[in-house]
Amino acid sequence: MPLALLVVLVLLAACGGAHLPQSTLAPQSDFSSDLFGLFKDVFWWAVAVFIVVEALLLFAIARFRARPGAAEPKPVHGHTVLEISWTLAPALILVFIAVPTMRTIFSTAGHAPEGALRVEVIGHQWWWEYRYPTLNISAYNELHLPVRTPIQLEMTSADVIHSFWVPRLGGKRDLIQGRTNRIAWSADSTGEYWGQCAEFCGVSHANMRLRVVVQSDSVFQRWVDQQRAAPATPAKGSPAEAGQQVYRRSPCIACHTIASVSQGKVGPDLSHLAGRATIAGALFPNTTDMLRRWIMNAPALKPGALMTPQNLSPQDLDAVVAYLQSLK
């Protein structure tokens, strides 16, 4: 009994509703709708098979159970109709499952129509890079897309194998160094959609999150214009200007890019950091407090992070935070 209770509790712990951020039960794109439709088909076939099998099992238990003085039931051998039936029925069920499965495999193979917006997705330990070659911009950890627009995601990895997964928008795709895998989808409605790396990729695999922001055409265009623009130059004598000077003489410039300031390539580009809602690979909200804590000791917040702890005075830390928060 205790073991059965434990199994039930474990199964219940794995359950979730469609309202959760990473639910597959509330599809919001053509890709995820195809997957959900296939899931429903297979689910109802499984329910039907379960009911029939359990009904036959219960009938056999009730009809042929041992009774005092009852004779042994007569075994059935060579019953052609039965043998054909229990062979043909499962075969037909498999066909009814296989046909929509193959149809869904081909419909979600990753080939977008001509003129789709191309986005190159590059997985790093443990953050995401997005390049928009036709728009000549890049983004980091937060993927912005226009609503009801065909999207072609072309994915690869800069290091180990990752897996890109945004449950409400589509299925998983592996990111493998030296290879390109594809996803094609069109988001149905504006909103915020959360995803996760779904392939174990090291100590902070569980912390490799991603945020997809689907916007109207006009809002998306404003975001594109913002990414194309150079970050504002800090006003003379401002805390942001002091922070820029601290940044210039810190180790940060070796790993990060800020337009016209540094050209590091190890970590995410910070040129428009203040325009992002999250930091640390979409792990934490982009607030003053979290930014301070992240700068001072990133590995304490995200194990394995390559960003080393910084030994900054309180004044220098305040200045750097003010500078980063000016980079919109």
Instruction: Tell me the per-residue pLDDT of 200-247, one tens digit each, with 9 for 90 and over.
Output: 999 999 999 999 999 999 999 999 999 999 888 899 989 999 999 999
Residue 131 and residue 120 in contact, taking contact as beta carbons nearer than 8 Å: yes
- Specify the residue for token string 């990753």: 110
pTM value is 0.85
Q: Which pLDDT band, with edges at 50, 70 and 90, does 22 fall under? A: confident
Q: Which pLDDT band, with edges at 50, 70 and 90, does 15 fall under? A: low
Q: What is the pLDDT of residues 248-266, one digit of tens each?
A: 988 888 899 898 888 888 9
Residue 150 pLDDT more than 90?
yes
Q: List, in sequence order, every residue forming a beta bridge with 215; answer none if it has no partner.
A: 146
From CA 208, how far away is CA 159, in angstroms rounded?
14
Residue 245 and residue 157 in contact, taking contact as beta carbons nearer than 8 Å: no
Give the fold, CATH level 3, of 117-228: Immunoglobulin-like (2.60.40)
Q: Which pLDDT band, with edges at 50, 70 and 90, does 20 fall under? A: low
From CA 227, how far away is CA 224, in angstroms rounded?
5
DSSP label at 14?
T
From CA 30, how far away is CA 148, in angstroms rounded?
10
Q: What's at 160, amino acid-wise?
A: V
Average pLDDT over residues 5-13: 71
What per-residue confidence (pLDDT) applies to 65? 81
From CA 67, how far away is CA 199, in angstroms rounded?
55
Burial of 40 (0-12, 13-18, 19+ CB in 10 A): exposed
Tokens of residue 39, six digits: 């899931």
Residue 122 and residue 49 in contact, taking contact as beta carbons nearer than 8 Å: no
> To which CATH superfamily is domain 239-324 assigned?
Cupredoxins -  blue copper proteins (2.60.40.420)
3-state SS assignment for residue 234: coil
What per-residue confidence (pLDDT) applies to 83? 87
Share the mean pLDDT of the chain: 91
Residue 75 pLDDT more than 90?
no
DSSP label at 125?
T
Q: What is the pLDDT of residues 292-322, one digit of tens each?
A: 999 999 999 999 998 989 889 999 999 999 9
Residue 19 pLDDT more than 60?
no
| Portions of the chain given CATH number 2.60.40.420 | 117-228, 239-324
What per-residue confidence (pLDDT) applies to 77? 77
Residue 121 pLDDT more than 60?
yes
Q: What's at 174, amino acid-wise?
A: D
Give the closest residue to 164 by CA, choosing from 120, 132, 134.
120
Give the N- to C-terminal CA distance of the chain in Å, as an integer.
59
**Pick the residue with more confidence: 71 or 212?**
212
What per-residue confidence (pLDDT) applies to 159? 94
- Specify the residue for token string 């986005």: 119
